[in-house]
Chains A and B, each alone.
Chain A
Amino acid sequence: MQSTNDKIRWRIRLVAVLLIPVALALAVRLYFVQVVAHDYYLDKARDTYTTTRVTSGKRGEIFDVHGNLLVSNIPSVNVTADPSHMKTVAERRRLAYLLSLEFPETSYEAFFRKLAPTRRKRVAVEGAEPERFEFKTVPNTYAMIARDISLEKAARLKSLAKVNKFNCLFFKDSYKRIYPKGSLLSNVLGFTNVVDDSDVAQTGLEKYFDEQMTAQLGQETYERDRSGRPLLYGPHISKEARDGRNIYLTISEPIQSILEEELDVTFQEWKPKTLYAALVDPKTGNVLAMAQRPTFDPNNRSTYTNEAGRPRIAEDGIEPGSIIKPFTIGKALDWGYVTPETEIDCDKGTWIYLGKPLRDSHPYDKLTVAGVIQKSSNIGTAKVAMMLGEEKVYQALRMFGFGRKTNLPFRTETSGYLPRVSKWDGLSITRFPIGYGVRVSPLQMLRAYCALANHGKLPQLRLVDRVEDPATGVVENIPFEEPVQLFDHPECHRQLIDMMTLVTKKGGTAARAALPGYEVAGKTGTSRKYIPGRGYASGKYFSSFVGFVPAHDPAFVMLVTVDEPHGAYYASTVAAPTFKRVATRVLRHLNIPPDPALLPENQHNRSNP
């Protein structure tokens, strides 16, 4: 018979036999979890308490040459809601009502619909062949309430939500592209649209420099506590977001403002279809201002139209008319075919060549070459071109950059139309030098005039001065290209300028562009509008004036082109006064004083001592 002690011993052994395998199994399992599958479980745990946050930088900004802001990003707030947080219909109604008061552009009903607690979701039916979809009702956890609202409005809404205990509203900081100067330079700057919370460049410089201006996304990976705050210990890997690069233009905002204001006056006065103008520093090729009408405000897209949005000054090829005359005549002087005093027979206003008449606006018998420029004689210019011959005329126009893009940052810049000599017909030599049959962009014309203003040296036009990396502060200056000297004899260039100053003097075609106290060199051009497939339209004209001032040391070259003005069409009446108004103010702004000897009162005193 077993004693009590034996029984206890036996029981202990039995328990031990039962427990030891369990303990062993636990030990094995522990070994497996802690050692063999350590990495797997660590990763799994980390997945739970590690979070990755994508950070985004700001899109690059655009400034004028002085650092005035033209395009920027304004802090804003996106408001979203999680309607599944709302418990009662009454709460939903109250929130919809409150939101409709804050955002009057959206109705109460629209908000009420947005805040529905459930929504229908299109899902694929599992295993269905071919693929089939069905709608399921799921909790509505996301509703966009308002995008890009101001900080003040967001703060007000936040406090309202707090007072009314609306826990379903969420506020996310964001940035919105803004154009602080409104329509100023809008055709050149372009704009962006918002797609999936990011800016997508649409037109203009925004699109051209999109790669440089786009911010690089950053990423931050860290272990977090229950409320999502990063833990002090544990891995914290972060890749900084980088702001996009800033673009500094050669545009000067004050000059741009003057130009735009005066263009508005001309636009009101002559009601043209289009109107554009630009100012360039001939020494550097820097574009100081560039504007067109009609225009649009990029902050208000309802004002946008395709015609207002595209930079016509770079895209439109127009038959320039008489403003192209100085180039053929200038090279004729340079190559020694004529002198300023050479007399040209202008056939009393009508010259028949190859059976086709060429007319002057006023009949002239004989004019000197200087007179041809001053009076803008078509016949005189055509006859000078005949002296040069087709090859030389082509060479002259090509030298001044016609038929070649200016390479300013416009995606769709035209190269114009200047056909090779082999494609010329017999009349081309009499038509191309007077600005018919060729197509030139206003920018090409400006570049060519820069060569005249810059002692015969053709500069490369520049619109972007420098690019800055805001993170490092490193500035990359866009280099100047050395201008190319086009004149073999500098004195010929001076003679040409003297002839062009006659244009704005008494007896010239653009006396209305004259500025008291300054010598203005310029040229008018009135050309009939060519409509492809229909020929020259009657009563439709391009009126242009290009000039530079002070003539022998110009501060700027300016072109004004008015497309289809109403009421008058001569460039001397329509474009020249605009030039005068703009030039007067820009010279004041640049602090360039008049030459006392050229002031009318002094000239009067000199003539009557």
Chain B
Amino acid sequence: MNIQPGKLKRQRKSTQTAGATLGARLAAMVKFGLFLGVIAAVLNIYIYLNQRITETDRAIRKTEQEIARTDREIAQLRIRREQLSRWEHIRRKIVQFNLGLREPAPGQVGRMALLTPRQAQMVPLESVASARRSSGGGHRN
């Protein structure tokens, strides 16, 4: 019986299989490692993004608060401006600083304005008074 060649063949085969299994295992491990790496990376990115979102959200809120505070300051300044533009206040200052100002005579006043049609519609009186002067009276909106 010729047993040897068969044995050798089996031995060769098993050696080949063992080599192949080790390679496959290594490959599988590498793949698994890669897979874990990807998961870890995704997780990291997810955490990072979440952190950024939270930070951005916090920044948004802070900016919103800042805007609200600035809005309130603007509202206050607007009212202050209106208080200062009150004639009684201006008159008091004219007297206080002895400015000697007086109202202009008609004809000394020139007005120039760049208005949108809507704004123009909303300014009824003074503009009409000057129109009256140039056209000799008449129409008013």
Q: Does A301 contact B (CB under 8 A)?
A: no
Which stretch of A436-444, A561-569, A591-599 is in the interface?
Answer: A591-599
Q: Does A214 contact B (CB under 8 A)?
A: no
- B86 to chain A: which residues have CB within 8 Å? 180-182, 184, 257
* CB-based contact A590/B125 at 8 Å: yes
Distance between Cα atoms of A589 and B105 in the complex (Å) = 9
The chain B residues found within 8 Å of chain A, CB to CB, are 53-54, 57, 61, 68, 72-73, 75-76, 78-79, 82-83, 85-88, 91, 103-107, 109, 111, 118, 122-126, 129-130, 132-133, 137-138, 140
Of A75, A178, A553, which one neighbours B137 at CB under 8 angstroms? A553
* CB-based contact B138/A553 at 8 Å: yes
- A286 to chain B: which residues have CB within 8 Å? 124
CB-CB nearest 3 A-B residue pairs:
A257-B87, A590-B129, A593-B106
* CB-based contact B87/A261 at 8 Å: yes
- A465 to chain B: which residues have CB within 8 Å? 124
Of B78, B91, B123, B129, which one neighbours A555 at CB under 8 angstroms? B129
* CB-based contact A592/B106 at 8 Å: yes
Which stretch of A65-73, A108-116, A531-539 is in the interface?
Answer: A65-73
Distance between Cα atoms of A514 and B85 in the complex (Å) = 32
A237-254 near B? 1/0 per residue, CB < 8 Å: 000000000001000111
CB of A193 to closest CB in B, whole Å: 20
CB of A371 to closest CB in B, whole Å: 29
- A229 to chain B: which residues have CB within 8 Å? 61
CB of B65 to closest CB in A, whole Å: 10
- B124 to chain A: which residues have CB within 8 Å? 65, 284, 286, 465
CB of B31 to closest CB in A, whole Å: 34
29 sampled A-B residue pairs with Cβ under 8 A = A65-B123, A68-B82, A68-B85, A72-B82, A74-B76, A74-B79, A75-B75, A151-B73, A173-B68, A173-B72, A180-B82, A232-B53, A248-B122, A253-B87, A254-B87, A257-B86, A257-B88, A261-B87, A281-B125, A281-B140, A555-B129, A585-B103, A588-B104, A589-B103, A589-B126, A590-B126, A591-B109, A591-B129, A592-B132
Of B103, B122, B123, B125, which one neighbours A288 at CB under 8 angstroms? B125
* CB-based contact A72/B125 at 8 Å: no
A535-568 near B? 1/0 per residue, CB < 8 Å: 0000000000000000001010000000000000
- B103 to chain A: which residues have CB within 8 Å? 585, 588-589
* CB-based contact A180/B83 at 8 Å: yes
User: Closest residue to A590 on the B side, CB-wise?
Assistant: B129
